[in-house]
Amino acid sequence: MRVLYGAMICVLLAALDQTVVIPALPAIGGDLGAYKQLPWIVSAYLITSTISTPVYGKLSDIYGRRRLLIVCIALFVLTSILCALAATLDQLIWGRALQGLGGGGLMALTQAAIADVMSPRERGRYQGYISAMWAAASVGGPLVGGFVAEHLSWRWIFWLNLPIGIAAMWMCHNGLRRLPPPARTLRSRLDMVGAVLIAGALSVLLLALGWGGNTYPWASVEVLGLAALGCVLLGLLVLQEMRVSDPLLPPRVFASSSYVAAIVISTLISVVLFMCLFTIPLHFQLARGASAAEAGAYIAPFMLSSAAGNVVGSRWGRRSGTMRGVVRVASAVCATGLIVLACLPTDAPVWAFVVVLVLTGPGVGGCMISSMMTAQNALPPSDIGTGTGALLVLRSVGGASGSSVAGAIIATSLAAAQKTTGPLAAHLAPHFSTVYAAAAGIAAIIFLVALCMPAARLRDTLHVAPVSE
């Protein structure tokens, strides 16, 4: 439980900082006198946190979780001070980029630390605490950020990280001392060439996703060039990892069909989640005339029900001994809810939308926790950090893809609506339905993957390698 408490406050720090800054963006733009580059406050953090995640995972397998996690928290706190003191928007963006280097290790290392002290089957008993903390931070982040920006100053959003970060360092220092030492018997060396290649590949791919349909058209030379460069770097990464003695992303972890299935499920359900998170608030604001505060309140039931699905799924897996059934039911629930959401008429009452969102959320949460537990169950102890980091990286890429796809569909509909007459809601409604239908199709693919994945049993022990499949 001491390890769990330390992990929970790190999850709070990571989840809160992903959402708390979003409501304050207009205030930041007004104070610093710049609006055009505001999206980079979020994008800079996303890019650096994503590319640093697999490196932290590998380093933690070599040197242990506790010291590295304390370094991440310290870096996160120090860069929060830089963000709070930023005098220009460029300084704030660079501060957020450096902050992402610290934030990238928080989720990966805490998930790996939990896997160090809890067997895959018993993990479901405690996962509810982590899910509750994540849900509270995800829902409370926008509310706290909006309140602070309106009544104090946007700079206090970053000053608040200091007491939370100091508490996290203290709890991790005391609680994570109980973690077992790294499973490796020989001191390994970090694959620096692999680290550079994966950082470059993820950076250009995330830039392509962020610019596509917004800064540049999807078919533009800039976006297609970045996508091509990212694919080339990924190809070079594969060649590097196959030839080096101790790779950053060991090919052996991808030899397990359970792990591969978990990676696919995790990435696809992240696409679905972020398509919903991007679209739902806009749906209520643009198609139903709700205010920004009301739209934020309407998305809270979806996030809370998703966290509930996390808890129910983990406990169901613990009792049944396998996560395959959880994924099948959760993906079916998610696809069904999204289909109903796509079919609801624009003039349907608000409570009907909220009810459907509440029924859809558990499917998303169930798939999320199932993919994590399945992946860690398929990994030997020496590769827990590496394999967890790889899963979280692809989950981030999936989230960026989901936001980009949904944003492109909505942006296209807004551009078309401006050229026509009549109510805006009438023009936008079919396009919102298109986003929900596309998300339902992705959930259906997850269901098909779940039908084919092996029924691997969740291990009851920590340090026994899983049975080969």
pLDDT in tens, 240-281: 878 877 777 777 777 788 888 989 999 999 889 888 877 887
- Give the CATH superfamily of 1-179: MFS general substrate transporter like domains (1.20.1250.20)
**What string of H, E and C letters represents the secondary structure of 211-258?**
HECCCECCCCHHHHHHHHHHHHHHHHHHHHHHHCCCCCCCHHHHHCHH
* Segment 330-360, tens digit of pLDDT: 999 999 999 999 888 877 888 888 899 999 9
User: Among the ranges 133-137, 217-221, 257-261, 417-421, which has the highest mean pLDDT value?
Assistant: 257-261
User: Among the ranges 295-299, 383-387, 441-445, which has the highest mean pLDDT value?
Assistant: 441-445
Q: Mean pLDDT, to the nearest integer, of 16-32? A: 71
Compute the residue count for the chain. 469
Per the model's pLDDT, the better-predicted residue between 191 and 445 turns out to be 445
- Distance, CA of 339 to chain centre: 24
Lowest mean pLDDT among 313-317, 395-399, 428-432: 428-432
Amino acid 465: pLDDT = 45
| Structural tokens at position 390 | 């790889």
Amino acid 7: pLDDT = 74
Q: Mean pLDDT, to the nearest integer, of 121-127? A: 64
Per the model's pLDDT, the better-predicted residue between 215 and 124 turns out to be 215
Rounded CA-CA distance 449/231 in Å is 24
- Distance, CA of 35 to chain centre: 26
> Domain coordinates of the chain in residue numbers?
1-179, 191-247, 252-459
Out of 3.20.20.140, 3.40.50.2300, 1.20.1250.20, 1.20.1090.10, the CATH code matching 252-459 is 1.20.1250.20
> Is pTM, for the whole model, over 0.85?
no
H or E element at residue 21:
none
Residue 218 Cα distances to 26, 37, 46, 229, 290, angstroms: 27, 20, 21, 15, 30
Cα–Cα–Cα angle for 451, 457, 458, nearest 5°? Answer: 115
- Residue 137 · residue 11 · CB < 8 Å: yes
Confidence of residue 187 (pLDDT cuts 50, 70, 90): low
Amino acid 203: pLDDT = 78
Q: Which residues contact 252 (CB under 8 A, 6 or more apart)?
A: 383
Res. 25: pLDDT tops 70: no
Q: Do domains 1-179 and 252-459 have the same CATH topology?
A: yes
Amino acid 405: pLDDT = 76
Per the model's pLDDT, the better-predicted residue between 367 and 322 turns out to be 367
